[in-house]
Amino acid sequence: IDQWTCRFLVPRDTPEGNYFIEIIITDRDGSQERFSQPYTVDASAPDLEVRLLGDARRGEAVRVEAQQRFTEADRALHGPRRRARILSDVQRVRVEAESGETMMLRQVRPGLWRGSWQVPEDAPESVSLRTTAYDMAGNRGEQTLDVDITE
């Protein structure tokens, strides 16, 4: 078969960082194989830069873009060479308007997400869009973008 899966719990108070787990496989005949496998404890929320690509006009659609930022926590965990991989660890991005409308952004390349927001005809002069990003480790980061609505 040559495939196996293992899950283990990491204590909550384990500091973020890179670790190794020692794997010991014991065959039926009692012989053993030993492996060392790296893993990362990541408890930091993803950080996004959120912006509109154009003006938010009542009754019109405007593009929303979210770019994942490489944070100091990412740099400390993974070093500068793994930047491309880290910038793609966000699994989904959701944007919610004050009106309750929710839109899911679509990943267009690693670390970059886009979607379209239909500005309501009756939108006030200023609207807040709350963006929530979820990463592979289950961490959640939230941001609010205040948007001025133009005529």
pLDDT tens digits for range 9-66: 888 898 888 888 898 989 899 999 999 988 888 888 888 999 999 999 999 999 999 9
- Answer whether 118's CB lies under 8 Å from 61's CB: yes
Cα angle for residues 79, 68, 130 (degrees, 5° grid): 140
- Strands 56-57 and 140-150, by their bridges, are parallel
Rounded distance between C-alpha atoms, residue 102 and residue 89, angstroms:
22
Alpha-helical regions (H) of the chain: 72-78, 83-86
Q: What is the pTM of this model?
A: 0.75
pLDDT of residue 132: 97
